[in-house]
Structure 1
């Protein structure tokens, strides 16, 4: 019998009701993890659980939650603590595009909502589960980023700013936990056949892009106990870690 990489481990995945998060959750379950699946869409979570069980995995813990609800994120950490006393894997995948627009034309409410979901909720999630990840003998965290954080193309300013902020949080978190078993990295999935990509690039042929399942297959190994890299950016298309430039 083949040993699974994540047998007996607890994995939290946000944005798990569709797209990359959905496929990562399935793949983690296939590796033996008990998945705590977080998303707003109950139907998508239930479908995920059905697929995990059909494939022989452990039934998932489904958490319908809006990441704009900061108190709910705090309660989530408390519930994981009460039930398992630790967390082994975090995948902070949930996010929204906001709007593609000249910076000066972005409505304040759109700016604030996008920052709340993409940045503030990521910080709140890290704050909520950091103590739990530190209790694992091999805590692993992946925070989803984007090439937009570095290219900063015209009209992508809002989304780019949120992802750049998330990368900064990850780098600081990695430095704070360098001397612990916890390893944390950012992930750039690249252009993927998802609903968000279709929203951003409506004229693009989705068949030219890798599927969420293909992308997830490259991300999940980053969460195995054997991984030693921390504070780095994993580029899915190149299938390798990239080191950030050291500050001057």
Structure 2
């Protein structure tokens, strides 16, 4: 049996309560992320924030990288002032994940950015974010209820990697109030929502370097994560 690829998933520190009395700072990751990777044939390992100087060595040990969803990025990273609806910055996570992303791009490690992870890819490439989509698109369909995934339709761009993966419009799990406003250098938009919001981005070329604004781990559709797993065997 061929060895299973090792897929690192970013996580974050936050206060958590569990058991009879524990209330401590914890490295947290929703269980759907590792389960999704495992179902696609990978081995999942959590990557809590660390010294960015260690990112290069860590990524060398990985076969693939998933940049998980979570808190809003610090608007200072793309030269903006915080919107009233933007969450407080989490600099230790921003620095760590930018370092991991930078290392993965340099080393040619396949990567998938999910929600915040896609936004991080865009900002890393010099792009910018819309800090509160409802003010631009005129509705709350991307995040109608905080803490609950809803679904909306995305249209892939036919000639892109995402277009090949999805082949047709798809219903995807969504939970975000921010999105891409200015696309980063070298990236292409490879899927859109019906309101025009960019829902997937990717770097052209043979290496799998894709970001999706939706949450594939919240659904049974394994096409995106399976593509990442397959890409690790092609290195």
Using structure 2 for the length normalisation, give the TM-score: 0.43
Greater strand share, structure number: 2
- Scaled by the length of structure 1, the TM-score of the pair is 0.41
